[in-house]
Structure 1
Amino acid sequence: MRGKFLAMKRLLFLIVVFCLMGTSSLFAQKERFKALFIFNFTKNIEWPAASRGNQFVIVVIGNSELIAELETIAQTQRVGNMPIKVVDYTSLDNLNGCHLVYLSPSKSGMLSSLLTNVNGKHTLVVSDGKNLAAKGSGISFVQDGDKLKFEVSRKNIEKQGLKSSSALANLGIVVD
């Protein structure tokens, strides 16, 4: 009897471990997709010549898993002729010179402060949550069932002095 109980405990433990591994694997895959989306966004947005520089700076506020995925991309890819620099920020201080800011879902309450901080600095704001593009970000990731999609606000992108391609609007969910 005791042997069956121990066998059941082990089996239950293994099931829990495999479930947790699957969940973390799905989370990692989702972050990998977000990083790829973000890199591809850079191909569909035009920054003014004056705001370019010798590095394309992506700031991430609140998501270390995404940072790792973006750094992997940065090792082999460029935006135009600029190498990519990924920066982990915990606050909204000193966002000068960044081209793109990703705001994680856990930090979405900072969106209005972020928008004030980057106003006029030619910065694409990418957020993560439904209706955030309607609230001011240029692009926002949304979950549609098991699919990752994104909302696009061409108006908000243009407010930052950036131009978006029609391909970006065709691939996303346009909110304005």
Structure 2
Amino acid sequence: MLVLFAGIMTGANAQKERFKALFIYNFTKNIEWPPQVKSNHFIIGVVGNSDIAAELQTIAQTQKVGNQTIKVINGNSTDELEFCHLVFLSGNKTAQLPHLLTKLSGKQTLIITDGKNLAAKGSGISFVQDGDKLKFEICRRNIEKQGLKSSSALANLGIVVD
């Protein structure tokens, strides 16, 4: 019985990670990056969650961001990242958010976190769990601080914390 429950939980967790990866990809359609960073690959950095990185790798095999192919970089620390268009900081790495914000200040990088109230603490978008529903907080002010523009449609879909 315990093994069956663990299998169900693993499947549920995998599904949640897949949804987060799809959300992340769809966020790219609602953010405008400056022209000077729209060449070469669209680079997504993932800190601390190899499951989401794997899901994003799967998406990268068939999808693009605009005309750019997607390249996913996965690491355990924000120090392992160079320029990324988007960085996802997993829930178990949120202590690195202040360092990440300093490192990426004004670098045209969308910062996405996984946890309640993190958009109020500096990320542009943060996943939150509301019962069994996955939602996201959005702080347009933080997105604009990074030199990016977000669509009003994105704000309408999320929980605005500006």
- TM-score normalised by length of structure 1: 0.90
SS in 1 for 2:141: helix
Which AA in structure 2 matches 1:95?
L
Q: Distance in 1 between matches of 2:81 and 2:88?
A: 12
Q: Is the 8 A contact 2:75 2:81 kept in 1?
A: no
Q: Report the residue type matching 2:159 in the other structure.
A: I
Matched, 1:142 2:128: yes
- Report the alpha carbon displacement of residue 23 of structure 1 after superposing the two structures with TM: 0.2
Which consecutive residues of structure 1, in runs of 5 or more, have no partner in the other structure?
1-14
Whether 1:54 aligns to 2:31 is no
C-alpha contact (below 8 Å) 2:48/2:75 kept by paired residues? yes
Shift of 1:52: 1.8
- Counterpart of 1:39 in structure 2 is 25
Q: Which amino acid aligns with 2:141?
A: K
Computing the radius of gyration from Cα coordinates, the structure with the larger value is: 1
Following the alignment from structure 1 to structure 2, what is the Cα–Cα distance between the partners of residues 92 and 174?
26
2:161 counterpart residue number: 175
Q: Distance in 1 between matches of 2:122 and 2:71?
A: 25
Matches of 1:172 and 1:64, distance apart in 2: 25
- After TM superposition, give the deviation of residue 17 of structure 1 in Å: 1.2
* Alignment correspondent of 1:9: none
User: Which amino acid is 1:65 matched to?
Assistant: D
How far does residue 51 in structure 1 lie from its aligned partner after superposition? 1.6
2:50 to 56, 59, 64: 64
- Could you tell me whether the CA contact under 8 Å between 1:31 and 1:66 is conserved in 2? yes
Which deviates the most, 51-60 or 128-137?
51-60
- Residue number in structure 1 paired with 2:139: 153
Q: Percent identity?
A: 66
User: What SS class does the counterpart of residue 32 from structure 1 fall into?
Assistant: helix
C-alpha RMSD over aligned residues: 0.8
SS of 1:125 mapped into structure 2: strand
Is the Cα–Cα contact under 8 Å of residues 110 and 143 in structure 2 kept in the other structure? yes
Cα deviation 1:97-144 (Å, max 9, x = unaligned): 210000000000110110000011100000000000000000000000
Distance 1:59 1:104 in 2: 11
Question: Secondary structure of the residue that 1:101 maps to in structure 2?
Answer: strand
Residue 169 of structure 1 aligns to a residue in which SS? helix
